[in-house]
């Protein structure tokens, strides 16, 4: 246990200080092992001319001290350029590389560390929907960037656009009172759904605080759209819904909505999902007017708001839904 605590202290020190400061602390703590380094520092302060004459000898001592300091380091934190330079001048070989904000790196910097330490396992953390890559030469008046457009798209944006990112996970940490509220909300949702069941082929759901908003000459309902999309994700992931006529195939879903603005909202929400979350070839969104001949195993009819009467004929919408559903 004491040895583990000592290693933990060294790790924390490496993270919270520069490598040069860490090496200086090692030499000051053990002056008997590093007398040449101590003499060189004192000579540099008191007699710079003598230090310049003995510079080659002193540099060799500094190099040995830095090599020893690097051998004591467990975690190294830095920018990609600094870590590449660090890898080229030391024998430090990590087992794990963690790259944060990977989508903000240009293509040439995305794999720079992996190219230096090819035997290490790499973990890339980023959100491709949040920020574009940082290109310092983009939109500079006094510098003509030859590859400016390429630097605006990171390697991970290209991977996502090419369909190579198959899963996406998000983690949000709430502390204090926020965590209590979040936990109460999730407990309420679980209790609500576990105590309620349905044996009918038609299921009516009314999300709370859901109201249509005017969008140009049309209307949209963000609450209904987000609820329906998350319901589709759960149907494919948790429920494992299959086709009624062939249990070896996954079920298809057709979303019907009376307004074009609401259909566009569904398209945008589905576009943000990956193939691992929802098989997009099995999910289709249409308005009621342009879907008389379309069929699916599951029909989701987003037909009205909650607080006001519907702006479309419900009886006609219901007939379209019943004719489109494959029993």
Tens of pLDDT, residue by residue over 287-313, are 877 756 667 778 888 875 544 554 544
Angle of CA points 84, 85, 87, to nearest 5°: 65
Total Cβ atoms within 10 A of residue 38: 14
Q: What is d(CA 223, CA 265) in angstroms, rounded to the nearest whole number?
A: 11
pLDDT band at residue 14 under the 50/70/90 scheme:
very low
pLDDT, tens only, 47-100 = 888 888 888 888 888 888 888 888 887 788 888 888 888 888 888 888 888 888
pLDDT at res. 201: 60
Q: What is d(CA 312, CA 259) in angstroms, rounded to the nearest whole number?
A: 9
CATH domain 80-161 topology:
Rossmann fold (3.40.50)
Cα distances from 10 to residues 22, 25, 75, 236, in angstroms, run: 9, 12, 9, 48
Q: What is d(CA 30, CA 72) in angstroms, rounded to the nearest whole number?
A: 14
What mean pLDDT is predicted for residues 128-135?
Answer: 62
Q: Where are the domains of the chain?
A: 2-71, 80-161, 200-324
What mean pLDDT is predicted for residues 167-194?
Answer: 60
Q: Which residues contact 205 (CB under 8 A, 6 or more apart)?
A: 227
pLDDT at res. 142: 59
Dihedral Cα 183, 186, 187, 189, nearest 10 deg: 160
Q: What is the average pLDDT value for the chain, to the nearest integer?
A: 71
Low-confidence winner among 84-88, 172-176, 277-281 (lowest mean pLDDT): 172-176
Q: Residue 106 in contact with residue 80, Cβ under 8 Å?
A: no
pLDDT at res. 162: 67
């Amino acid at each position: 246990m004491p040895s583990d605590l000592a290693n933990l202290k060294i790790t924390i020190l490496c993270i919270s200080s520069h490598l040069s400061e860490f090496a200086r602390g090692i030499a000051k703590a053990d002056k008997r092992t590093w007398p040449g380094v101590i003499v060189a520092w004192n000579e540099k302060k008191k007699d710079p001319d003598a230090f310049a004459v003995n510079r080659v000898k002193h540099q060799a001592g500094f190099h040995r001290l830095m090599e020893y300091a690097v051998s004591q380091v467990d975690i190294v934190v830095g920018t990609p350029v600094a870590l590449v330079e660090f890898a080229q001048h030391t024998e430090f070989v990590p087992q794990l590389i963690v790259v944060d904000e990977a989508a903000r790196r240009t293509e040439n910097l995305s794999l720079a560390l992996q190219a230096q330490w090819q035997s290490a396992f790499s973990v890339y953390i980023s959100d491709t929907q949040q920020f574009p890559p940082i290109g310092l030469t983009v939109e500079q008046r006094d510098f003509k960037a030859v590859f400016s457009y390429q630097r605006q798209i990171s390697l991970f944006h290209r991977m996502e656009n090419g369909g190579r990112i198959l899963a996406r996970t998000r983690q949000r940490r709430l502390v204090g009172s926020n965590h209590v509220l979040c936990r109460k909300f999730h407990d309420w949702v679980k209790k609500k759904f576990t105590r309620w069941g349905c044996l009918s082929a038609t299921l009516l759901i009314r999300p709370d605080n859901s109201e249509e908003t005017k969008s140009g000459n049309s209307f949209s309902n963000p609450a209904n759209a987000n609820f329906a999309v998350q319901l589709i994700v759960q149907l494919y992931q948790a429920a494992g819904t299959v086709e009624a006529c062939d249990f070896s195939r996954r079920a298809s879903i057709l979303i019907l909505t009376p307004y074009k603005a609401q259909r566009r909202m569904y398209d945008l929400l589905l576009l943000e999902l990956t193939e691992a979350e929802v098989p997009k070839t099995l999910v289709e969104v249409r308005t009621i007017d342009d879907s008389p001949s379309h069929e699916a195993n599951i029909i989701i009819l987003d037909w009205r708001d909650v607080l006001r009467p519907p702006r479309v004929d419900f009886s006609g919408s219901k007939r379209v839904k019943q004719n489109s559903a494959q029993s």
